[in-house]
Structures are given as C-alpha cells and as structure tokens.
Amino acid sequence: MFEDKNSVGIVSLKYYEIKEKIKFESGVEFGPITVAYETYGKLNENGDNAILVIHALTGDAHAAGYRSENDKKPGWWDTLIGPDKAFDTNKYFVICTNILGGCSGTTGPSSINPETGKPYGITFPVFTIEDTVAVQKKLLDYLCVKSLYSVAGGSMGGMQAIQFVISYPEMVKSAIFIATTSRLSPQAIAFNAVGRNSIISDPSWNNGDYYDKDKKPDRGLSNARMIGHITYLCEEAMYNKFGRRLQDKNHYDFNFDVDFQVESYLQHQGQIFVDRFDANSYLYITKAVDYFDPVDKYGSLTNAFNASNAKFLVISFDSDWLFPSYQSKEIVSSLMHLGKDVSYCEIKSPCGHDAFLLEYDVQSKIIKSFLSDSKGADCE
C-alpha cells in the first residue's frame, strides 16, 4: 500500500482530556484542556523507552505514517520515524502532541469555551513554552511514561525540548535540539511582531471574534505566513529555487500583479496556509516563542541546565539565518561548561532554517548514532 516498507502505516489521532486546571506561568489557572496526540511503537513494561518528538511553529501531532489508505502525504517527520529509522519504532515508543493553543485538536483559541458555548477567541489565556511542556507532561503521565529515553524537536520544537529538560530534569535521559535557540534574537522577534500585526490589522480579525463570521482574517494570516516563510529559506535557497525568473511570462507587466516566481511561491504558501491554520493560534504561539528565555529566567543557561544528567545532541545548519549556528553553540558551550555529555553537529545545507525538515539522510545517521551509542553521536 505504501512505498516506504518502513512506514508505521495508518495511524489515528487520539485525544486526552486534562480535567483539572493548570496554573499557567502568567498566574492564570486554565482548564479543562484536550490534548491531541499520536503514538508509534509500544511502551515497554518499565515505561522508559518513550521518545517525545515535538513539532515546529505551525506543525501538528501527525509526525509519521498516514491517516488513511488514500492519504498521499505522510507525517512531517515520517522519514525519521518508523521501523529501523532514526527514531526506531521497533525499539521506542514515539509520541507527538499538538501544541497547547494550536488548532489541530489540542485546546486553543478556536476551541469552544464550556462556560460560554462559544470559541475562546482572545479570551484564551496567553501561555508560554513552559506551559506547553506542563501540558505534555500531563499526557506522559496518563500514558504511564516513567522516563523519556529522549526528547527531540526542531525550531520551536527544540525550544520545548530545552524546556522539558529544564522543567523535568529527572525524567529525561537524552535530548536532541535541532535548528533551535535558547531565546529569539531581536530580529526574529521583529518578524513575529510584523506577522501578528498583519493579522490584527486585517479588518476581518474583528478583535479575534471571527469564527461565526462569513469573512475570516485570511489576508492577514496569509501575509503573516509569507513573512515567516521568508525566514525559513536563505539567499542561496531562494536563488537556486527561483533566481529572478518570471512567473508564466517573458516580460514585466508594469503593474502590481505577480511578476516573479518567488512572489507566486510566497502567495501560494500564504493561500494554502489559511486552509489549515487559525489566525488567533498564530498570535498566541508566536507570542509564546517570543517569551521563551531561560537565560533571563534562570540567570544563565548553565543554571538552567545544571540539574540535568541527560546526554545531549545539538544540530544546526550553516545556512540557517533565523536560528544561526552561533545560537546552538551557545547551548553547547553552556553544557560543556557544566561537564555534560554533549555532541554538536553543524550540517552544511543550502536549505536555510527549513533544513531540519528536508535534510533527512544526514540527520537520520546522526540521530541513530546518538540514540544507540552511549558515547554520543557520530557527526562525520
């Protein structure tokens, strides 16, 4: 049925309801919370072979396999998750959840507030990366996971992996941080701010109350996606993919329609994004990313990681200008200062920040080596 004989096959989205309220970092107590998740492989009797993989900004819980026999597109990390793959489901119980505040099954702004019978909208409380990790921990407890063999994520997923090690150091045996950072640069915060402003200034946003309206803030959300997507590429990737080639024409139109292929590409990315994502979720999740700063909260990264006895793998990409390699090296330096078991690999790639979703072969070898070898990863 599937071309990949090592596919996990057909998977289903599952749900778990946290009935009690959780106290968010802001001080707000919020609940109940429904968590959408998928699992691959089986949990062993000791409950210690689980690996939590965490999605990036606009991802979801569908990390591997197919949702149906007619599904043409597998999960977002399917090449890395499955029998005999990097995250080997013959050995490990792999878990992926949709983030708190998301729009793919986990409670978020588009969910119905049981007290009003209407979507939360912007009455949904602002949350942090620490709050998202607390929600994931509740799910792991429900699944009878006693310890994590590893926690892994790229981009925003890497931030959550960092926070998981900080919040629950006794639970995590190893951690994999890919194309991530311990805190956003002012430039990255600025891009998020422009994206949020694009949504908020769309008249159809209507102060976040648009769910029962004919018009949604599609233009604002589309523009936000276009802005964000630029940061996921790099100059080399854009030249290789588009150059200055025109879209379906041989000359300029001398108007404000689309002329260049890169314009058409960004427009397409924006259009397809509004079909699967919620504008309010974009506001909340990007704000959570902006707030993430364990350096400020704990005084330093060394203080933040001090209680952990995990071994670490940090991967960066030389063309990633959103989360450049020096930010990964700052993490590595802090771990080395503490005498932690840490491996670091910088991968050469023309794909920019998106490389963590595209450079499967080299990541697969490194991750498989790291998970199977007590001495760390082979980066050669």
Our measurement of the distance from residue 204's CA atom to the centroid of its chain's CA atoms, rounded to an integer in Å, reads: 27
What residues of the chain score a pLDDT lower than 50?
none
Please state, in angstroms and as integers, the Cα–Cα distance from residue 76 to each residue in 14, 221, 224, 363, following that order: 17, 22, 21, 14
Q: What is the pLDDT of residue 40?
A: 98
- Give the C-alpha separation, 144 to 46, whole Å: 9
Residue type, 99: I
Active site residue 26: no
- Give the C-alpha separation, 48 to 38, whole Å: 18
Active site residue 320: yes
329 phi-psi bin (left φ>0, alpha ψ -120 to 50, beta other): alpha
Burial of 83 by CB count in 10 Å (0-12 exposed, 13-18 middle, 19+ buried)? middle
- pLDDT by residue (tens digit) across 310-352? 999 999 999 999 999 999 999 999 999 999 999 999 999 999 9
Q: What is the pLDDT of residue 3?
A: 67
Q: Which of 104, 111, 150, 155 is catalytic?
A: 155
Burial of 336 by CB count in 10 Å (0-12 exposed, 13-18 middle, 19+ buried)? middle
Helices 261-273/218-232 angle, 10° precision: 120
Q: What is the pLDDT of residue 380?
A: 57
Active site residue 353: yes
345 phi-psi bin (left φ>0, alpha ψ -120 to 50, beta other): beta
Domains of the chain: 14-185+292-372 (3.40.50.1820), 188-286 (1.10.1740.110)
How long a stretch of residues is the chain? 380
- What is the per-residue DSSP string for 26-92? TS-EE--EEEEEEEES---TTS--EEEEE--TT--S--SSBSSTT--S--TTTTTEETTSSEETTT-
Q: What is the pLDDT of residue 188?
A: 98
Q: Which of 78, 278, 320, 354 is catalytic?
A: 320
Q: Which of 88, 111, 349, 353 is catalytic?
A: 353
For residue 218, count other CB atoms closer than 10 A to its CB.
Answer: 18
Q: What is the pLDDT of residue 324?
A: 98
**Quick check: 252 and 154 in contact, CB under 8 A?**
no
Model confidence, pTM: 0.96
Go through 100-135 and write b for each residue having 16 or more CB atoms within 10 A of its CB, e for each that does not: bbbbbbbbbbbbeeeeeeebbbbebbbbbbbbbbbb
